[in-house]
Amino acid sequence: MSGRCYAAAIVSGFGIAIMQPGMPTLVREWLPSRLALGTVGYSSGMSMGAMFPAVFTIAFILPAVGGSWRLDMVLWAIPALLIAPVFLLGSPKIPEDVERRAAAGRRWWPDWKNPVVWLLGFAFASNNSPYFVTSAFLGDYLATLGKPELLGAALGWLNGSQLVAMAVLFLIANRLQMRAWPFLVFGPTMLAAFLVMMIFVTSSLAIVAATAVIGIAGAVSMTAILALPPFLSLPADVPRTAAGMFTISYTCAIIIPTICGALWDLTGKLLSCRFACAPLR
């Protein structure tokens, strides 16, 4: 059973790996004069895809399917299947001569010697790694605080607040293009939410507020980063630049939570040992 679950997760990962590098290219080809708005549009869809299952599964979907996680997965897969014909019918048509010229001159392997690829990759890694770490360890963290009942609200605000950010981003999309302010403002804001509101102040309100701030900060900086490959690359290089960026960022997004988990286990054992040995002193 676990083998099939792992196989399904791997196949899903392949689908994401194929889809994401193509999105900046489609934005460049379909909306060349409105790159930021196009990026806000598809990044909003990605955020909604991450949010809706987390918010609605436990409260609505699982009770409706008798608690079967298999049927739950099938139901969430239906929208993805419906997107394919909509995408096919609604996509703007690209002239065949443009497609032939692009295919003939396009290189697919990322230029690993290009510092822009690494800069974009590490920038995006600094965005998605905190989100993955928060999603992975929030439950255990709340359990150690004796507040496991906050998990639903915290995850809901972590993901739901991103929709609020996206709604604002639609209004200010043009102000994101090649601007430094999203990183200068929301990077420190995310760090402050982790340190001040979640770690040092452990009240229920502060923790839920911290997850909301992390979600908003992550959504704004994510959109600003995703808009950069079409701006910083030649049209023919956008796909491989985006592919390199995602390769670096998601590699970090795997390594960093793994390191965090190891540190969690290590410090947990050390604390247990310290408390166990304290009466013997």
237 Cβ neighbours under 8 A, 6+ residues apart: 107, 111
- Domain span including residue 251: 2-280
pTM for the predicted model, two decimal places: 0.75
Question: Contacts from 144-153 at CB under 8 Å and sequence distance 24+?
Answer: 145/202, 145/207, 147/204, 147/207, 150/204, 150/207, 150/208, 152/58, 152/59, 153/208
At residue 270, does pLDDT exceed 70? no
pLDDT at 2 over 70: no
Element counts in the chain: helices (H) and strands (E)? 11, 0
pLDDT in tens, 37-78: 888 888 888 877 777 877 788 778 888 888 887 888 888 888
Domains identified in the chain, total number:
1
At residue 274, the pLDDT reads: 35
Q: Quick one: pLDDT at residue 181? A: 85
